[in-house]
Copies of this chain bind each other. A is one copy, B any other.
Amino acid sequence: MLSEKKEQLKRELSAALGNHPFDLILRNVRLVDVYSEQIRTASLGISGERIVAVDPPPDAPAKEIVDCNQQYALPGLIDTHVHVETTLLTPEALADVLTPWGTTTLIVDAMEIANVAGKEGLEALISDPDALSYRIYLAIPSRVPTAPGLETTGATLGVAEVAELLQLPQSASLGELDPAKILQIQDPYLEKILEALRLGRICNGHAIGLEPADLNVYATAHLADDHECVTPEELQNRLRVGMAVMIREGSSERNAKTLLDGVVAAALPTDSLMFCTDDKHVQDIAKEGHISFNVQLAVDAGMDPLKAIKMATLNGARHFHLEHEIGSLAPGRYADIVLTGDLKRIRPTRVYKSGRLVAENGSRISPYKPKAYPEHLFETVILPPGLSEQSFALKAEGDKATCRVIRLIENQIINKGERVSMPVTHGEVKADAAQDILKIAVVERYGKNGQVGLSFVRGFGLKTGAMASSVSHDHHNIVVVGTNDRDMLLACRQIESMQGGFALACEGRVMASVALPLAGLMSMKPAEAVIADMAALNRAAAEAGCRLDAPFMTLSFVSLPTVPELGLTDLGLVDVLSHQLIDEICEP
């Protein structure tokens, strides 16, 4: 390994010295130099996978010379925090949408597949990296399960497994750790943190809703960043405890404009700021862009495009100790290069990864080819043996019951816990679609204990039917929301038959569904097929009354037991801040 790297380095040095031809020269670019913060006409010499010369001699020989006609050349963009599985695509298929937008590096916290299939699932996801048109570094999942004792997952990652994974060459950090583990001083998480630091890795935070007093505790534990800021004040509070901020623009979490306006208004320094998507649906990526969209929002907020691009490149590379590999167009770095005619609206004309052309004018060079994954990753949905309509019955006594209701907050991942008085009929509280109070259930899907957690949710707006998903953060049991128990059951059965996915059932019929058979999280289809399938599914959900833009993304997050105020797992309703199971029906 080391000797192979040495031979590569020797070839690169030899090319840099002019001892043999470059593989590629990009001539006549307007180079976006994130170190000098200057844009100047230059050329780039590439050998193998790396840039080895800025402004090589004008007569230097090369296997290929491209005149770039004064297009801007910028470093490949970096998504500093993303759960690749939530795009619903395999990394291979995701490339079709991602690469044309100039994103060449993802820092992937693959906690989703890890919760379903553990270390093996995780390793399957990153096998054969050279076949990809972007590079993946791993944020090693720190919490599998996310809420031990409060949820059932397909697999767990203990301290020893995390320590082992942190040593992978692709490992860049310990993945996002939620504050409860720190505020409660839980040993295994401190051990994971110290092991990461010992290995020179940073520790990613997830400081959702944290106020300064708790941020002190969190930063004391060496959590180095946060991607959960929603207000400029939160952003400032994180900088003040020495945390970097990943400004997120996902499908549900659209935080970038507010945060960037705040950064510009307060004239904050940007060296501790970077960009991420966290969770962004593939149709949104295809429509508006990826990290390129975060850059666009920054420029729209009044930021110097060079600073915005630096946030999308060098700042993230530095933060993850990857400055020698990515984040700039300097010698020694991978030749991950984006050519574009416009810095303010990045529309790449060419994208290179490791010196190889991977996209041109909005399209990938090589179309998607499915990769072989281990068989058992396609067999992960095992419903409770006796699952029936009765499994969704929410029992209560008397005439009325004060029920807890998870109320969605538009465009945000957090929710509010409400108490609503509801009638009890035949010993049961039913959903009340007229008031937009739907039943929500989480059904254990790993064949482990067959538990079903039940509660109510407000905000989906469904007038009829039920929608279910095997994507259900972070435990990825089946979450189902519905106006009636029969359709809830049917939607679950449809997911079982697909071995994962999304389904909408109305009045006894499956109206639409999308199969996600890889770990119950990802499709094996190409991006455009999934986009079309999702569009049809979302149309069907709208027809059933759902008012949300991305109803299945919202569905997949609504039960998350680590995002305040309420979560729901197969074990029941979770009060997130106290990290405890609570009754779905309040004491009278």
A residues sitting closer than 8 Å to B (CB atoms) are 2, 5-6, 9-10, 12-14, 16-17, 33, 35-37, 45, 50-57, 169, 182-183, 185, 187, 190-191, 193-195, 197-202, 212-213, 215-222, 224, 236, 239-243, 268-269, 271-272, 318, 321, 323-324, 328, 330-333
Contact = CB atoms under 8 A, between A and B. Distances in A.
A2 B222 contact: no
A69 B445 CA distance: 61
A217 B330 contact: no
A373 B215 CA distance: 44
Given A35-B239, A242-B333, 14 more contacts: A9-B190, A16-B220, A17-B183, A35-B240, A35-B243, A50-B220, A54-B240, A56-B216, A169-B198, A199-B200, A219-B330, A220-B332, A221-B332, A242-B330
B194 A57 contact: no
Contact of A331 (B2, B241, B318): B241
Given A36-B239, A240-B33, A13 B220 contact: yes
A202 B324 contact: yes
A79 to B, nearest CB: 21
Given A14-B185, A220-B50, A331-B241, A324 B9 contact: no
Contacts of A200: 199-201, 321
A53 to B, nearest CB: 4
Q: Give the number of copies in the complex.
A: 2
A194 B318 contact: no
Nearest to A195: B2
20 contacts: A2-B194, A9-B190, A13-B190, A13-B221, A16-B216, A17-B183, A35-B239, A35-B242, A35-B243, A50-B220, A52-B216, A53-B220, A54-B216, A54-B240, A54-B241, A218-B331, A220-B331, A222-B332, A224-B324, A242-B330
A268 B36 contact: yes
A318 B55 CA distance: 28
Main SS at interface, chain A: mixed
* Chain A to chain B: the 5 pairs with minimum beta-carbon distance, closest first: A242-B330, A200-B200, A219-B331, A53-B216, A220-B331
Contacts of A190: 6, 9-10, 13
A261 to B, nearest CB: 17
Contact of A197 (B212, B222, B318, B324): B324
B12 A220 contact: yes
A378 B386 CA distance: 82
A296 B215 CA distance: 34
A215 B330 CA distance: 11
A471 B360 CA distance: 60
Contacts of A193: 9
Contacts of A33: 239-240
Contact of A328 (B50, B185, B220, B242): B242
B13 A323 contact: no
Nearest to A329: B242
Contact of A269 (B37, B50, B55, B199): B37
A326 to B, nearest CB: 11
A2 B185 contact: no
B9 A57 contact: no
A215 B52 CA distance: 10
Contacts of A191: 2, 6
A224 B331 CA distance: 10
A55 B214 CA distance: 12
A300 to B, nearest CB: 22
Given A16-B217, A183-B17, A241 B9 contact: no
Contacts of A187: 6
Q: Which of A36, A51, A198 gathers the greatest number of chain B CB atoms within 10 Å?
A: A36
Nearest to A224: B324
Contacts of A324: 197, 202, 222, 224
B55 A212 contact: yes
Nearest to A1: B198
A198 to B, nearest CB: 7
Nearest to A10: B185
A242 to B, nearest CB: 3
Nearest to A18: B213
A240 B6 contact: no
A120 B218 CA distance: 40
A535 B577 CA distance: 66
A483 B323 CA distance: 52
A332 B35 contact: no
A217 B13 contact: yes
Given A13-B182, A220-B331, A272 B35 contact: yes
